[in-house]
Amino acid sequence: MNTQVDSQSVTLDITGMSCASCVAHIEKALKKVPGVAQASVNLATESATVQGQTLQAAALVTAVEDAGYHAAVRTDAKKPSAAQGSNPERYQFLLAAVLTLPLLYPMVFSWFGQHVMFNGYLQLALASPVQWWCGRRFYIGSFKALRSGTANMDTLVTLGTFSAYGLSLFHLLSGNSGMDALYFEASTVIITLILLGKWLEARAKQQTTTAIRALQALSPERASVLRNGAEVEVTIEALKIGDELVIRPGERVAADGEILQGRSQLDEALITGESAPVLCEPGAHVIGGSINLDGQLHVRVNAIGTETTLARIIRMVENAQAKKAPIQRLADKVSGVMVPVVILIALITWLAWGLGAGDWAHATLNAVSVLVIACPCALGLATPAALMAGTGVAAQSGILIRDAQALENAQALTVVAFDKTGTLTQGKPRVVRTVAFDGNDQQLLAQVAAVQQGSEHPLAQAVLCAAASANISIGSATDLRALAGRGVSALVDGKQFWFGNQRLMEELGFASKLLVRRAEENSSEGYTLSWAAVESAGSKQLLGLLQFQDTVRATARQAVAQLHKLGIRTLMLSGDNQASAEAIAKEIGLDEVRANVLPEHKAQVISELQKQGARVAMVGDGINDAPALATADVGIAMGAGTDVAMQTAGITLMQSDPLRVADAIAISRYTYRKIRQNLFWAFAYNLLGIPLAAFGMLNPMLAGAMMAFSSVSVVSNAVLLRYWRPTTAR
């Protein structure tokens, strides 16, 4: 394998990791490879994401394997290892448990005052398969770590269990086989409990990936396609752009496309989070993976493979799960030095008890307890397990969180700034009135429509629709120019013509009382005004105005109320005049309005708020919003918006529903709370357990149980995130 990758990231599937120190060691090894700028290893997903220039995939794999682990480059066809469901720990645990239970009988009978003692060689026969077969993974892992000059969880388990097993074997061969001289049950119980913990941990980790596995299962394996007039069945991989799909009721849509024929309800719940079916007709866009509920559809394919919406969602969720949250840095620093420090503490414990009390057997058991309780498994799982569960359940609700940084920033937000058109409103304005100052309204509408031909702007579409409804013949315009944030200019009937907002009219020199009065009269009712002007015989003249009205989204007011409940201040940025913007803001319940804001100035407003100490999110849907989305602490893009906005944003909402903004912040806060809880418990286990073990207050078996269930507890706590539901589903 000599694959070379330029200026992009490589994802590796890694096996053999056991704790957070493994993560630190692999990251260190990868960063030494030439061309690597950044390496992030995730214990929960058993993967590594490497970024840099001219990366050699073979060199990355070699670096990981030289460090004592196995690696393979992940391709598009491969699924994350966490989704595979492989769980060998179960069988190893069951065998270890069967062989360990007889060794516990003497201890159990001693609780009732009876002294039952198995033959020492029988204990050896029961303990040896557990030690060398069931526990071989720890020996293999510790040997690899030793060979690469490091130490990990396997090192601690190996030292602890072998010490108990070796001391018991020494006493047995020396003729001392009394109850107080043999500790075979301690070594076997430790291994059994750790295997139980690994089994439960693996099952819990699979639950954290339920959401992404559900998304992966949405894509059907085969599709019906019309080719040469005949319907044939092909694999998904064989689909081509332009193919015509035949989708019957009950079938899943095989790829993104446009409906050519048919009318049906589609269930897009698992993709967009929208629980209600969506009515789709010819010309409508459909998403691959959605379910056709009733009518038969013919769909032209316009995206396949990795370019489909479903593939992009899965890729975004996987990327978010693979990256580390900034809060993980403390755990990484601790885990990087933890194993050597623990070995030192165990050595000090052994010497202190042995030299102080003269009981080297008891000293060994206390040292074993220190080694076993201190394994940093929980530290390595605390953050990624919560991230996997949180980003997964968010994706199922139509909330795509790009990375851990966006999630961490979202939970600390204090201000949310909304763009108006297409975000708080439907983005489909209509012309409610044409006012020509010379009385010829139809001529004015025809002139404006001529200027707006070919434009995709919502106001332009409204003008063209109004002209079509009035059966007005539209002429032609030349020398068309878009005036960003202000309007357009063109030559109409040989005369210079302008159509735009009040700012444009003021730039042209119109500042009459009529302009101001007309604006106040109309905008107070929530109308957006656009003015028409012409230059004739060297002088500029106002021709009239058009009144537009956009419908406020049904959930806008509820969205603002939810944000207020979260303690977040709301702000609207609009290019409209002040009175019109304030009318919309009053209807919705916003805290503040910034009107007459040009697109390039939205980012400046965001920066000003940040300088005042606010943590700001920008919510938008268009190309004009991209600079503001990038400037904000968190950019939130509405799903119906442009690709530019979605690529710039840290969070993408698959539905154009402002209520999902509050949901995105809520799940971010909930996930971050779980991360902090997990880190607390991970540190608490060690901070409490190590001193207890060192002072002889924790026997090796209890230490093994605590270590095993520390990992299970943090992953199980993360799994609770699966039960979060968005506001609309409660």
Name the β-bridge partners of 416. Answer: 570, 617
Distance CA 233, CA 27 (A): 46
Nearest alpha carbon to residue 379 among 32, 43, 627, 17: 43
Retrieve residue 712's tokens.
């299970």
The one catalytic residue among 154, 403, 419, 621: 419
Is the Cβ–Cβ distance between 236 and 76 less than 8 Å?
Answer: no
Q: Can you state the percent helix, strand and coil of the chain, rounding each to 5? A: 50, 20, 30
- The rounded distance, in Å, linking the Cα atoms of 689 and 686 is 5
Partners of 634 in the β-ladder? 617
Active site residue 419: yes
Collapse the DSSP code of 274 into the 3-class scheme (helix H, G, I; strand E, B; otherwise coil) and give the result. Answer: coil
Helix residue spans in 174-326 (DSSP H): 184-208, 210-216, 269-272, 309-322
Cα separation, 519 vs 527, whole angstroms: 9
Contacts 24+ apart (CB under 8 A), 280-286: 283/258, 283/259, 284/258, 284/259, 285/256, 285/257, 285/258, 285/259, 286/253, 286/256, 286/257, 286/258, 286/259
Letter string b/e over residues 602-630, b meaning 16 or more CB atoms within 10 A of that residue's CB: bbebbeebeeeebbbbbbbbbebbbbbbb
Specify whether the CB–CB gap between 404 and 324 falls below 8 A: yes
Q: Which two tokens stand for residue 319?
A: 């990327």
As a whole number of angstroms, the distance between CA 629 and CA 243 comes to: 36
CA atoms within 13 A on the CB side of 102: 15
Measured distance CA(616)–CA(609) in Å, rounded: 7
Dihedral angle over CA of 499, 502, 507, 508, nearest 10: 50
Parallel, antiparallel or unpaired: strands 528-536 and 539-549: antiparallel
**Across-strand partners of 478?**
491
DSSP letters, 287-332, are -TT-EE-SS-EEEEEEE-GGGSHHHHHHHHHHHHHHSPPTTHHHHH
Beta strands 399-401 and 634-638, pairing class: unpaired
Euclidean distance between the first and final Cα of the chain, in Å? 51
Nearest to 246 by CA among 270, 222, 279, 269: 222
Task: Write out the DSSP string of 605-670.
Answer: HHHHHHHTT--EEEEE-SGGGHHHHHHSSEEEEETTS-HHHHHH-SEEESS--THHHHHHHHHHHH
Helix (H) or strand (E) holding 587: helix 578-588
Q: Which residues are catalytic?
A: 419
